[in-house]
Amino acid sequence: MGVWRATIHGRRTRPDPLAVPAKPWPRPVRGLSDAQQRIVLDLPHEPRFPDQSAFRQRELTPRNAVQAPAEIYATLLDEGGYHCSIRTMYRILDANGEVRERLDQLRHPAYSKPELLATGPNQVWSRDITKLKGSIFSRRIVGWCVADAESAVVFKPLFDDAVAKHAVPPGQLTLHVDRGGPMKAKATAFLLADLGVTKSHSRPHTSNDNPFSDAHFKTLK
Tens-place pLDDT, residues 48-96: 776 543 433 334 444 444 578 888 888 888 888 888 888 888 888 888 8
In Å, the largest CA–CA distance within the chain is: 88
Coil/strand/helix, residue 178: coil
Cβ atoms of 49 and 89 closer than 8 Å: no
Domain that holds residue 172: 124-220
Nearest to 122 by CA among 184, 183, 195, 216: 195
Q: How many domains does the chain have?
A: 2
The pLDDT of residue 61 is: 43
The pLDDT of residue 131 is: 53
Q: What is the DSSP letter of 219?
A: H
Whether residue 160 is contained in a domain is answered as yes
Q: How far is CA 217 from CA 102, 117, 134, 211, in A?
A: 45, 21, 11, 10
Domain-ending residue, one of 102, 132, 155: 102
Whether residue 214 is contained in a domain is answered as yes
Q: How far is CA 143 from CA 15, 129, 131, 210, in A?
A: 77, 13, 8, 17
Bridge partners (DSSP) listed for residue 175? 125, 199
Q: Mark whether 88 and 131 lie in a shared domain.
A: no
CA distance 111 to 199: 16
Q: Is 171 exposed, middle or buried (0-12, 13-18, 19+ CB in 10 A)?
A: exposed
Whether residue 165 is contained in a domain is answered as yes
Q: Mark whether 138 and 81 lie in a shared domain.
A: no
Whether residue 150 is contained in a domain is answered as yes
Whether residue 8 is contained in a domain is answered as no
What is the average per-residue pLDDT within 38-44? 86
Bridge partners (DSSP) listed for residue 93? none
Q: Mark whether 163 and 97 lie in a shared domain.
A: no
Whether residue 51 is contained in a domain is answered as yes
Bridge partners (DSSP) listed for residue 133? 143
Nearest to 72 by CA among 63, 85, 57, 56: 85
Helix axis angle for 34-42 and 86-95, nearest 10°, is 90
CATH number of the domain that residue 141 is part of: 3.30.420.10
Highest mean pLDDT among 31-35, 95-99, 125-129: 31-35
User: What is this structure's pTM?
Assistant: 0.37
Q: Is the pLDDT of residue 137 over 80?
A: no
CA distance 163 to 143: 9
Q: Mark whether 141 and 59 lie in a shared domain.
A: no
For residues 185 and 119, the model is more confident at 119
Q: Quick one: what percent of the chain has pLDDT higher than 90?
A: 0
The pLDDT of residue 27 is: 78
Nearest to 69 by CA among 86, 49, 88: 86
Whether residue 20 is contained in a domain is answered as no
Whether residue 35 is contained in a domain is answered as yes
